Amino acid sequence: MVVWGRAAGRCSYPNCGKQLDGDLITGDLRKNHALLAHIVASDPKGPRGDQVLSLQLSDDPDNLMLMCAVHHDEIDDRNKLDIYTVETLLDMKRRHEERIARALEFPHAPRAHILRISAAIGDNETAIPRQDCARAMIPQFVIADRNPIDISIRGLEHKDSDRNYYDTELTNLHRVYDREIRGRFRDGELEHLAVFGFAPIPLLMELGRLLSDLSDVTVFGRHRGPHPSWVWPNDSPDISFERRKGNSAHKQVALKLAVSAEIPDSRVTSVLGEDVSIWEIRSSEFGTSVLRSQSVLSDYRKLAGRVFDEIKTEHGPDACVSVFPAVPTTCAIEFGRVWQPKAHPPFNVYDETPSGFIRRHRIE
């Protein structure tokens, strides 16, 4: 019962989590698929057996894992014992039980569905592993469905410079959004979305526009250090953002989003010409990893909304706005979310390339 309780009645194998109490409820033990797997075998001649430890640990809860039948057979396959070592299984057991403990410690955490937008790898997985999403969400959220909502963009063999790339990917984005998100939010099936994005900036801004400021959404980003993870590190002093206004005499407006890197005005005027009012949202520090907490992302989002309002006030609702981003993926999604179709002017989205900024998309 100790092992069952620690595992919450679910298979401890990574990414399985199969609920194993159904056979107990029906009372039909002939259909039982819940098995106790030994890490160090109870028989010295068994898988991972030991002449001394096998007898000592035979009934020790710390040496037992709750498993479904499929994964019980998998870890005891004698051809795979170099994969399923004692150390590997102890780590597997620890991770599963810690995840269960965290979830139960916060029983009132809201339920959230995982939304991933990234390039596909093989036939099933994306560039964002599901277990990485789960680690980032707990304990803030309870995972509502073990099957994420996926928006798969074409892999690395298809470059965003290819002809029709954005038309194809935007069409795919809208199709998945309409099928998997819009109606389910309306019907109350989706309470909250945890968004994980690894895609070109124009696509992420469009995703943000679709999700809008009205949806219950939390955005997560990938952090490179100290260890690659989608968990917010919260490990460095908060950076700040400032708005720099442009000349109000122009109808053509450029908005630079300088967080990952600085954007010289010359890179804007080389595209739009000199007859332009250049606004800017810039961070106090530049870099791909400077944004390391949700509170800082929230500050950025609030400022972006105020800047949209100010541009409309200064230049009118018919202003021609172009956005030049150098931002992390999280900022791109949130920027799209704060834009409101009836309150803010439409804008063109430019994307940085080795030869300069190129117009990729229009949000209206």
Residue 258's nearest CA partner among 203, 204, 205, 325 is 325
Percent of all residues in the chain with a pLDDT value above 90, rounded to a whole number: 63
Question: How far is Cα 257 from Cα 166, in angstroms, rounded to an integer?
Answer: 21
**What is the rounded average pLDDT of the residues 111-135?**
80
Is 240 in contact with 284 (CB distance < 8 Å)? yes
Could you tell me the CA-to-CA distances from 311 to 70, 216, 319, 335, 344 in Å, in that order? Answer: 60, 26, 8, 15, 8
Q: Coil, strand, or helix at residue 243?
A: strand
The pTM score is 0.73
**What is the rounded average pLDDT of the residues 88-112?**
81
pLDDT tens digits along 208-263 = 999 986 779 999 999 987 788 999 988 877 789 999 999 988 889 999 999 999 99
In the chain the domains, ranked by start, together with CATH numbers, are 2-105 (no CATH), 111-220 (3.40.50), 241-363 (no CATH)
- Peptide bond before residue 317 is cis, with ω within 30 degrees of 0: no
Q: Which of the four pLDDT bands, split at 50, 70 and 90, describes residue 135?
A: confident
Burial label for 234, CB within 10 Å (0-12, 13-18, 19+), is exposed
Q: Provide the residue count of the chain.
A: 364
Could you tell me the CA-to-CA distances from 193 to 125, 154, 178, 335, 355 in Å, in that order? Answer: 19, 23, 15, 17, 36
Provide CB contacts within 8 A for 72, sequence distance 6+.
Answer: 35, 37
pLDDT tens digits along 295-348 = 999 999 999 999 999 999 999 999 999 999 999 999 999 999 999 998 999 999
Residue 26 has pLDDT above 80, yes or no: no
pLDDT for 107: 64
pLDDT tens digits along 267-277 = 999 999 999 99
The pLDDT mean for the chain works out to: 88
Residue 27 has pLDDT above 60, yes or no: no
Provide CB contacts within 8 A for 191, sequence distance 6+.
Answer: 110, 111, 112, 113, 144, 216
